[in-house]
C-alpha cells in the first residue's frame, strides 16, 4: 500500500490550525485536526480523487474539506505527499504561483 507522508510545512499548517481553534475550543481543535489527517488517508487508496493542479506545480492535486480547508498533495506510486494544508481564506493558488516550494 502507498505510504502517506506529511511535509514539514503541512505539519506546521496542522499545528497552526490546531492553535487557532484551540484558543476557543481545544476539544474541537483536536477532532478537527484528526478529521483532516483521516481525510488524507483517503489519498492512499484513491490518489487521483483531488483536482489536478499541475498548473500550480508539477503533479500537485488539491482536495477541499468542507468550505474551509484545502489539502494540497502530490501522489506518486510509492508515497502520497501532503504538501500543504490551507485554512480559511488563504490564497493557496497565489502561494504556488509565486514559486513557493511545493
Is 102 inside any structural domain?
Answer: no
- Looking at the domain assignment, is residue 77 inside a domain? yes
Residue 67: which of 89, 38, 40, 43 has the closest Cα?
89
CATH code, 9: 3.30.2310.20
Backbone angles phi, psi at 7, to 5 degrees: -65, 160
Checking 16-22 for CB contacts under 8 A at 24+ apart, the result is 16/87, 17/69, 17/85, 17/87, 20/87
Per-residue pLDDT of 62-86, as tens digits, reads 999 987 899 999 999 999 999 999 9
Residues with pLDDT less than 50, the chain: none
Residue 14's domain comprises 3-97
How confident is the model at residue 27, as a pLDDT? 97
Q: Is residue 18 in a domain?
A: yes
In a domain, 89, yes or no: yes
Q: Tell me the percentage of the chain whose pLDDT exceeds 90.
A: 75
Query: How many distinct structural domains can be found in the chain?
Result: 1
In a domain, 38, yes or no: yes
- The model's pTM is 0.88
Amino acid at each position: 500500500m502507498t505510504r502517506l507522508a506529511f511535509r514539514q510545512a503541512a505539519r506546521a499548517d496542522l499545528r497552526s490550525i490546531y492553535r487557532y481553534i484551540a484558543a476557543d475550543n481545544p476539544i474541537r481543535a483536536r477532532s478537527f485536526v484528526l478529521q483532516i489527517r483521516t481525510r488524507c488517508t483517503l489519498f492512499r487508496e484513491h490518489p487521483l480523487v483531488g483536482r489536478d493542479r499541475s498548473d500550480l506545480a508539477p503533479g500537485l492535486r488539491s482536495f477541499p474539506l468542507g468550505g474551509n480547508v484545502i489539502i494540497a498533495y502530490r501522489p506518486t506510486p510509492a508515497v502520497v505527499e501532503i504538501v500543504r494544508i490551507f485554512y480559511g481564506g488563504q490564497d493557496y493558488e497565489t502561494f504556488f504561483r509565486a514559486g513557493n516550494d511545493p
